[in-house]
Structure 1
């Protein structure tokens, strides 16, 4: 699954530069030009990391960071604060607000990318791993290949993305709405039953004789990659 980064920056030239360079590095990028828009986007789909400007219109970067830390779904989301402020007291305030890192403008893009990867490696290592393993199930991102007990599992593109997402968080139950956002995209409008159809196809493809299904249905809650393999 491609790491999703929300870039919150009101300077259009810098936002465009960040967008271009981070996409080139293989990240999925969304942009917000002010704090209010950032909070709306975060409520629609929790990012894997936020690059956040300190000085923003409507809602400040400091307040956005506070609200990220207060959210149930986002309290562990890594935040890198971008700012022109270089005073030690300002850095301390940013970190005390909940930022994980602090980058002073102007900065080298290579440094920012390195800090992003370091944070993701610490907080969400599964997003950067080339191979995901769960029991006898292996998903090899580099080769775009899935095997179970050494045998190839043939999946369509949607089933592959669905499995990738579930393998990042085995045992956790995800609602149909959350799976739609993560696999199809927050701005894609498809019916909830579409999730059921693709989960059914994935379950059938993974099925092995005399073994329990790896995909568990939790009534009125959603689906999970079963923890008991």
Structure 2
């Protein structure tokens, strides 16, 4: 019998892989796929864990400034609303007062929760209204837009009956008008979903309040 030549060996088909070889390849492919899935899951988890920390509002952010300043703004509205509720003579004015006090107290709680979740102090190092373009020029004698002066607050605390009703309505109309201006400032400069959603709710509520306040003032004003 003639021995096979080099050409014959070169033209011969390669031996088929054994079952063991195919199984090893399949096992390797499965392990590699599983490893890739695990790595993807880990990276997704780490990304989800750290992204909020990396993107949350900072101490000098629009969101933090708004939360701090609007908390102070709301605190005065709560004081005014309780004065109307406790000492007002007109049932509608008393109801408007307590509604405003309760709503704004709840919003103050929400804004303080934001600051805690962002790891920020309730009071920051930035001047009042520094978060809003031209905001510092709006601060008069330390008061933000719409806020009553100490003298006006003293008059409200001393007033009784119908005099208190009318004064409350006048002061709260000015207060809400200034507050809406501040809300527009954060709505135009923030993309933080919870902040935008809550601020829009604040604006809608205060606009509705203004209608009721003005109608009541038209009815009661001499």
Relative to the length of structure 1, the TM-score reads 0.27
Say which structure is richer in strand: 1
Relative to the length of structure 2, the TM-score reads 0.28
Say which structure is richer in helix: 2
Structure (1 or 2) with the larger CA radius of gyration: 2
